[in-house]
């Protein structure tokens, strides 16, 4: 962070929509000030609007890397490949925190990866302890475990009150992905 400001640990969790969007909003704001961000997406390997926009408009400040198979992973359906990809993402995060190349590191869907058993909560807690004081670390995804919530400096819980999916409206390009 510029000026030696303290980097914090943020968690965006809950059943509502907007966790990744909130993290990407933070990255966008940071890019405006020239801060460098790395977004590591767990359990994702797909073309999304954010992936395209970051590559097209913010490539000088933001790097996005995905560690997952194509499609959606459901609880209880993880394959050894899913565990291996999550571990690769965690190793990449570890290297990024040690590198001092980034002001912000976002671990998108890491909470879900823990909740689904792809990663152990303790591994993520140990990763948090590697965080340099100047780096902002953001953990997103449903099902954030109690230990991560306790360790975080900021916790935002997204609550679903109403969702168009419930009445048959599917994911829309440019809005939901």
**Which residue do the tokens 């959606």 mark?**
72
User: Is 81 a member of any domain?
Assistant: yes
What is the pTM (predicted TM-score) of this model?
A: 0.93
In a domain, residue 166? The reply is no
Cβ pair 113, 94 in contact under 8 A:
no
The reported pLDDT for the residue numbered 109 is 98
Instruction: Please indicate, yes or no, if residue 87 is contained in any of the structural domains.
Output: yes
In a domain, 177, yes or no: no
Q: Which of the four pLDDT bands, split at 50, 70 and 90, describes residue 172?
A: confident
- The domain containing residue 131 runs over which residues? 2-159
Angle between helices 49-57 and 19-32 (to 10 degrees): 10
| Residue 133: other Cβ atoms inside 10 A | 10
With respect to residue 115, please indicate whether it lies within any of the assigned structural domains.
Answer: yes
The number of distinct structural domains making up the chain is 1
Within a domain: residue 173? no
Distance CA 35, CA 60 (A): 10
Token code pair at residue 167: 């009445």
Per-residue pLDDT of 133-148, as tens digits, reads 999 999 999 999 999 9
Per-residue three-class SS string for 101-150: CCCEEEEECHHHHHHCCCCCHHHHHHHHHHCCCCCEEEEECCCCCHHHHH
CATH number for the domain including 53? 3.40.50.300
Tell me the pLDDT tens digit for each residue of 32-81. Answer: 999 999 999 999 888 888 899 998 898 899 999 999 998 888 898 899 99
Residue 150 is assigned to a structural domain of this protein: yes
Contact 105, 97 (CB under 8 A): yes
What was the pLDDT predicted at 2? 65
In a domain, 169, yes or no: no
Q: Out of 7-11, 99-103, 160-164, pick the least confident.
A: 160-164
């Amino acid at each position: 962070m510029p000026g030696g400001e303290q980097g914090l640990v943020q968690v965006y969790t809950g059943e509502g929509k907007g966790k990744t969007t909130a993290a990407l909003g933070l990255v966008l704001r940071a890019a405006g000030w020239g801060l460098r961000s790395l977004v590591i997406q767990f359990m994702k390997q797909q073309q999304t609007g954010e992936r395209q926009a970051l590559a097209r408009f913010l490539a000088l400040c933001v790097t996005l890397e995905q560690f997952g198979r194509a499609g959606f992973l459901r609880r209880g359906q993880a394959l050894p490949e899913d565990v291996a990809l999550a571990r690769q993402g965690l190793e990449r995060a570890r290297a990024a925190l040690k590198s001092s190349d980034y002001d912000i590191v976002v671990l998108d869907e890491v909470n879900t990866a823990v909740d689904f058993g792809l990663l152990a909560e303790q591994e993520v807690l140990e990763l948090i302890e590697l965080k340099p004081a100047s780096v902002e670390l953001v953990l997103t995804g449903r099902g954030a475990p109690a230990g991560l919530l306790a360790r975080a400096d900021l916790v935002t819980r997204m609550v679903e009150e109403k969702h168009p999916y419930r009445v048959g409206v599917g994911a829309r390009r440019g809005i939901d992905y």
